[in-house]
Amino acid sequence: MKKTKRRRLLVDSKLQGALLCRVTGYWCLSLLVLVALVAVQVTLFSKEVDWSVTVNRTLQAFGPSLLATLLLLPLLLLDALRFSLRFAGPMQRLRGEVHKLANGEWDGPIKFRGRDYWHDLGVEINRVAEELEQLRAEHAAASEGTQREEVAST
């Protein structure tokens, strides 16, 4: 199979945007849980009762980890975006091909890239498309035959 590289990272901005928001939300939630756990640990093992001291020690204990995760977040988002291309790209292609098929403009079988998802759906859409094209051809031939009979009888 010919290897073609995608030119765009966003092929379905609504779907991929929602995915990136979800990844970011999970990242934020995990940070909140980790900060809370560190704060509880600092509070339990600290003899200080002052809230500002607890917050300061929590930030000191968690600061390097927070910085590391902040640096990793863009990589996580880029990876999620690239991974989403394996299912968003084929769906975008299927949407376009089904639109062409509905308008009688279908120009051949749908093909996906090697690592894409939904290959089986593409095969089934191709089967439906071939059947529809065959029915359209039969209908056109039958209509043509009916028109000839009408012309011959007049």
Query: Is 112 a residue whose pLDDT tops 60?
Result: yes
Q: Where are the domains of the chain?
A: 13-153
Q: Is the dihedral of CA 89, 94, 99, 101 positive or negative?
A: positive
Q: What is the pLDDT of residue 151?
A: 66
At residue 154 the predicted structure's pLDDT band, cuts being 50, 70 and 90, is low
More confident residue, 59 or 126: 126
Question: Percentage of the chain surpassing pLDDT 70?
Answer: 91
Look at residue 57 and give its three-state secondary structure: helix
Output the pLDDT for position 1: 47
Confidence of residue 144 (pLDDT cuts 50, 70, 90): confident
Q: Please identify which residue in the block is written with the tokens 């394996």.
A: 86
Judge whether 125 and 44 are in contact, CB under 8 Å: no
Q: Which of 14-18, 59-63, 140-144, 147-151 has the lowest mean pLDDT?
A: 147-151
Sequence length of the chain is: 154
In our burial notation (b when 16+ CB lie closer than 10 A, e otherwise), range 80-111 reads ebeebbebbbbbebbeebeeebeeeebeeebe
Distance between CA atoms of 117 and 87, rounded to whole angstroms? 5
Mean pLDDT, rounded, of the chain: 87
Distance of CA 1 to the CA centre of its chain: 23
Compare 39 and 119 and report the one with higher pLDDT: 119
pLDDT at site 2: 53
Collect contacts of 110-119 with beta carbons under 8 A, ≥24 apart: 111/1, 113/1, 113/3, 113/4, 113/6, 113/89, 114/1, 114/3, 115/86, 116/86, 116/87, 116/89, 116/90, 117/86, 117/87, 117/90, 118/87, 118/90, 118/91, 118/94
Q: What is the pLDDT of residues 71-97, one digit of tens each?
A: 999 999 999 999 999 999 999 999 999
More confident: 35 or 21: 21
pLDDT confidence of residue 3: 62
Instruction: Report whether pLDDT(153) > 80.
Output: no
Tokens of 15: 């779907």
pTM beyond 0.75, yes or no: no
